[in-house]
Each structure stands twice: as C-alpha cells, then as structure tokens.
Amino acid sequence: MRVGIGNDIHRLKEGRTLVLGGVIIPSDKGEEAFSDGDVLIHAIIDALLGATAKGDIGSLFPDTDDKNKGRSSLELLKETLQHTGARIINLDTIIELEKPKLRPYIDKIRESLSDNLSLDIDRISVKAKTAEGLGPIGEGLAIKATAVVLIDN
Ligand code: MG
C-alpha cells in the first residue's frame, strides 16, 4: 500500500465561479486560476501523484502550456488516474474556507468525487472548516484544500 498527500490554495475573486470537486457552489466569489481552479480536485491530483511518486500537478499539467488553460479539473483528474493507474482504497480531504458554509453541499461533493474516481462514496470523506477569521483564508481572500489518499498499487 502507498499513501499520498496533496494540497492547494487559490485566491478568491468576485465574479468567478466556486467549483469544489466538480460541484458549483453558490457564492459571490470563486477561485482565481489558470484552469477552472477546483482547489479540491487539484489537491486530490497531487495526492495521487504523490502516492505513485509521479511528480506533481505542475509537472504533469504546466500552466505555461496553453492547452491547459481553462481546462476542466475533472478532465485533469481523469488523465491523472490513467497516468498513475492508482487503485484507491480511500480518500480523506479538508477544505478550508470562511464562507459560504459548505455543509449543505458536502454530500453532493462526495457523490461527484465517487462518480469521477469510480470509488464507493463510503470511502470518500470531505470535511470543511473555517479559519476562525484568521489569515488570508479567514479574511475570505483564499481557499485551501488538503487530500490524503491510500492506494494499493
Ligand atoms: Mg490549483
């Protein structure tokens, strides 16, 4: 068995769409990014690449390559699954965001991850927390995600 960890942080900008795990979350701010900015998927991609020791998201999908511009993160995830051949046992994640409250969307995000990873929803954990008003996350300037994945490759 092998374990991988990944994290990602994006600035939040008014007028951008907030996408988490492929789910659009109603919000006045969304991730500023070269791609669609799905910070949760980016963290999961890095965890998969970490578990298989195949580099990181920046080496696999460089932002200097125009073909990656505005690409759906779910598409990048699909390519990562093919590239790593990862057989996932379970996935645990944390999203750090001041607002909106994510509780009403957690199961929707888990369902989306289940579909996109072909993994039973009972093996997928998504936790959300605020930063208690502290730092750039607490001030609503940024969103961060962390993922840990266990694979049996
Ligand atoms: Mg990112």
Note the pTM of the prediction, 2 decimals. 0.97
Q: Which H or E run contains 74?
A: helix 73-84
Contact 42, 147 (CB under 8 A): no
In this prediction, residue 66 carries a pLDDT of 84
71 pLDDT band, cuts 50/70/90, is confident
In this prediction, residue 35 carries a pLDDT of 81
Question: How far is the centre of ligand 1, averaged over its atoms, from the C-alpha of 110 (Å)?
Answer: 19
Question: How far is the centre of ligand 1, averaged over its atoms, from the C-alpha of 33 (Å)?
Answer: 7
| Cα 121 from chain centre | 16
Does residue 100 have a cis peptide bond before it, meaning omega lies within 30 degrees of 0? Answer: yes
More confident call, 35 vs 143: 143
**From the CB of residue 62, how many other CB atoms can be counted at a distance below 10 Å?**
11
Question: How far is the centre of ligand 1, averaged over its atoms, from the C-alpha of 39 (Å)?
Answer: 5
Q: How far apart are CA 151 and CA 109, in angstroms?
A: 21
Question: How far is the centre of ligand 1, averaged over its atoms, from the C-alpha of 27 (Å)?
Answer: 19
104 pLDDT band, cuts 50/70/90, is very high
- According to DSSP, the β-strands at 142-151 and 2-14 are antiparallel
Question: How far is the centre of ligand 1, averaged over its atoms, from the C-alpha of 76 (Å)?
Answer: 11
Question: How far is the centre of ligand 1, averaged over its atoms, from the C-alpha of 123 (Å)?
Answer: 24
Q: Which H or E run contains 147?
A: strand 142-151
